[in-house]
C-alpha cells in the first residue's frame, strides 16, 4: 500500500522529522523509518493513527490519490470519502471516541497533560478493539441452537 507516499509528503510539506511524525501519531520512529524505506506491510492501526493525527493532510492526500481510497476500502473496509466517514477522519478517532462516550462535554485537558491523556485513550481503544474482536470470534464460533419450527 502507498502509505510511504503520504508520510514522505507529510515530512516534506509540513517540514516534520520522522520523530515528530511518530510523536504526533503515537507510532514509533523506527516504524516511520520502515514506512519511508518501504519495508514491510503496515497494519490497519498504522493507517488509522496517521489519519487521526493528520486528518486534513490525510483527507487531502486521499482526494488526490483515489486509487489509495479504493485499495483501503478493499483491504480494510474504510477510507476517507465524501459523506459520513469524513467525520471520523476530520475529528480524529480520539475525538470521535470521546464524543461517543460523552467525554467531549467534560472540561478541557490542560496542554501539559494532553499527550498522556491521548495515549491513554488510544490504549483503551486498542484494548476495546482486541476484546471486541475476541468476543465476535467467540460468538461466531459458538453453535447456535436450532429453533423449533411452528
Specify the higher pLDDT residue, 16 or 42.
16
Task: Extract the C-alpha cell encoding 44.
Answer: 490497519
Residue pair 35/47 in contact (Cβ under 8 Å)? The answer is no
pLDDT in the model for residue 54: 87
For the segment 96-132, what is each residue's pLDDT rounded down to a tens digit?
777 777 777 888 888 888 888 888 887 887 788 788 8
pLDDT in the model for residue 76: 65
For the segment 44-59, what is each residue's pLDDT rounded down to a tens digit?
888 888 888 888 888 8
pTM score of the predicted model: 0.51
Q: How many CB atoms lie within 10 A of CB 22?
A: 19
Task: Extract the C-alpha cell encoding 28.
Answer: 514509533
Across residues 69-97, what is the average pLDDT? 57
CATH tag, 3-93: 1.10.260
- β strands within the chain, DSSP E: none
How confident is residue 27, by pLDDT bands cut at 50, 70 and 90? very high
Q: What are the residue boundaries of the structural domains of the chain, listed by start?
A: 3-93, 107-140
Q: Of 14, 33, 13, nearest to 22 (Cα)?
A: 33
pLDDT in the model for residue 146: 67
Query: Is residue 13 pLDDT above 70, yes or no?
Result: yes
Query: Is residue 17 pLDDT above 90, yes or no?
Result: yes
Per DSSP, 14 falls in state T
End-to-end CA distance of the chain: 52
Amino acid at each position: 500500500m502507498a502509505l510511504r507516499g503520504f508520510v514522505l509528503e507529510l515530512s516534506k510539506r509540513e517540514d516534520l522529522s520522522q520523530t515528530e511524525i511518530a510523536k504526533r501519531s503515537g507510532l514509533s520512529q523506527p516504524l516511520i523509518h520502515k514506512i519511508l524505506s518501504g519495508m514491510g506491510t503496515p497494519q490497519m492501526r498504522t493507517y488509522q493513527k496517521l489519519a487521526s493525527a493528520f486528518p486534513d493532510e490525510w483527507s487531502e492526500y486521499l482526494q488526490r490519490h483515489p486509487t489509495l481510497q479504493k485499495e483501503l476500502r478493499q483491504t480494510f473496509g474504510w477510507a476517507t470519502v465524501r459523506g459520513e466517514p469524513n467525520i471520523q477522519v476530520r475529528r480524529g478517532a480520539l475525538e470521535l471516541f470521546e464524543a461517543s462516550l460523552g467525554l467531549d462535554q467534560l472540561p478541557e485537558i490542560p496542554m501539559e497533560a494532553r499527550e498522556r491523556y491521548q495515549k491513554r485513550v488510544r490504549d483503551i481503544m486498542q484494548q476495546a478493539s482486541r476484546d471486541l474482536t475476541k468476543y465476535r470470534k467467540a460468538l461466531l464460533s459458538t453453535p447456535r441452537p436450532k429453533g423449533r419450527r411452528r
